[in-house]
Structure 1
């Protein structure tokens, strides 16, 4: 190929490359302009917020916590920030946030479940299975939850785990609640007291008192207790103390006789 032909071929290539680069940069400009237009226009303004999975919290509480406002462009919202806002609410364990273009935001939550109630200085602290403080009320609401008494608080904050002096005993109490649910006797139990260092006191709604060692196997103990309570109720015996502190031994004594001893 002659020198003139080579130069001509190079010029053609340069012109072709220039056209390609020009088209590319123009595409970028139009793309950026389009994004800017969408962000500034009313076409993608948030108009609808869907909330799913809520039981304890209302839709309004979740939306307020998310800090979402209609008539703001849906693309201007940071989904991670919304998720963090929603999960700051004590009852929310996990939140999933999605956009549904052009005008809808979808919030799906997984809530924490009230698991037990701890009386404290005239108030009632509701905790979940992870011992996270969900709610504090001045009144004992009519809910089928077990009271855990004898808890020594250092501090507590809504949305955080309870900070207490006897965490091992509280763990055992929570395991007893879980086992009582599994054996279907949770509705019989009114209170679990963990004030003593060497044993746990369980009280039924009928006033039967049960003494359990702090090193018990919760599952085995609740199965055994179910049999004992069934037998007592069948014979209409209530004013007794059931001592299950010693492995393999269950003693039942009249409360008055126990107190005399």
Structure 2
């Protein structure tokens, strides 16, 4: 019995010793982690030294670099990609801005630029907008651009990367956004999109470069109507008809030659 008792005590003592060693190792590991984090967050090795821009074509690299210049020499571990992404979208005309960090000190920015869909006259020049009615840029002319001009609305104080603000009737923007979304595939063959406000109802007159006028009411701004528009235009052109009005506000399209 005494021998057995001694062996049991030995096993118990050994177990206690192992538990003590495990706690010591854990404390040591935590200490080393803290030291490593302190070194990483204070070391110049992990400072931001470079910004790489990808996916841009019309937005110069310099605009992104200037915007993010305040992050240079900041510690990589102190930089938050999500905040940088939001900052870029607030200032530059991009739909998306994906930001990643590459150790030891590089910010990688991949953007998806807003696509120019139409132009709105403003102070002798033009405001270029995307299908969501965000301002992409402002310029004096439309040289080299095959996009329609939006008329019948007056915008105020356009700001790049911000939605347009329409004087008096901001609610027309929602209808315009729908129209631009569905007209995007055929923008190069359009000359004008005119909005007319009669007795509180917004109507749309869409003009093609080859002489067609398409009439729609705000309630007609659905995908089916625009698919029908393309089908009717194709049919008329194949039949050698190149001018006239297509009324899509009825149950069936009505064509009237000019």
CA deviation after TM superposition for structure 1 residue 79, in Å: 1.8
User: 5 Å matches for 1:118-197?
Assistant: 118-137=120-139, 139-142=140-143, 143-153=145-155, 157-163=159-165, 164-167=170-173, 169-171=175-177, 173-175=179-181, 177-178=183-184, 181=186, 186-197=187-198
Does the 8 A contact of 1:67 with 1:82 survive in 2?
no
Residues 1-10 or 104-113, more deviating: 1-10
Q: Which of 18, 28, 32 matches 2:20?
A: 18
CA deviation after TM superposition for structure 1 residue 85, in Å: 1.8
Does the 8 A contact of 1:243 with 1:250 survive in 2?
yes
Aligned residue for 1:61, secondary structure, equals: helix
The alpha-carbon distance between structure 1 residues 56 and 226, as it changes in their structure 2 partners (threshold 3 A), is: same
The alpha-carbon distance between structure 1 residues 226 and 66, as it changes in their structure 2 partners (threshold 3 A), is: farther
Q: Which of 245, 251, 259 matches 2:256?
A: 251
CA deviation after TM superposition for structure 1 residue 220, in Å: 1.6
Structure 2 match to 1:202: 206
Distance in 1 between residues matched to 2:104 and 2:94, nearest whole Å:
27
TM-score norm. by structure 2 comes to: 0.76
Does the 8 A contact of 2:131 with 2:177 survive in 1?
no
CA deviation after TM superposition for structure 1 residue 202, in Å: 3.2
Does the 8 A contact of 2:127 with 2:158 survive in 1?
no
CA deviation after TM superposition for structure 1 residue 227, in Å: 4.5
Count of residues paired in the alignment = 239
CA deviation after TM superposition for structure 1 residue 102, in Å: 2.5
Gaps of 5+ in 2: none
User: 5 Å matches for 1:46-61?
Assistant: 46-61=48-63
Question: Alpha-carbon deviations, 1:86-139, whole Å to 9, x = none?
Answer: 2223412112222222233221111211111122454522221122232334x2
Gaps of 5+ in 1: 234-239, 254-261
Distance in 2 between residues matched to 1:95 and 1:211, nearest whole Å:
37
CA deviation after TM superposition for structure 1 residue 67, in Å: 4.5
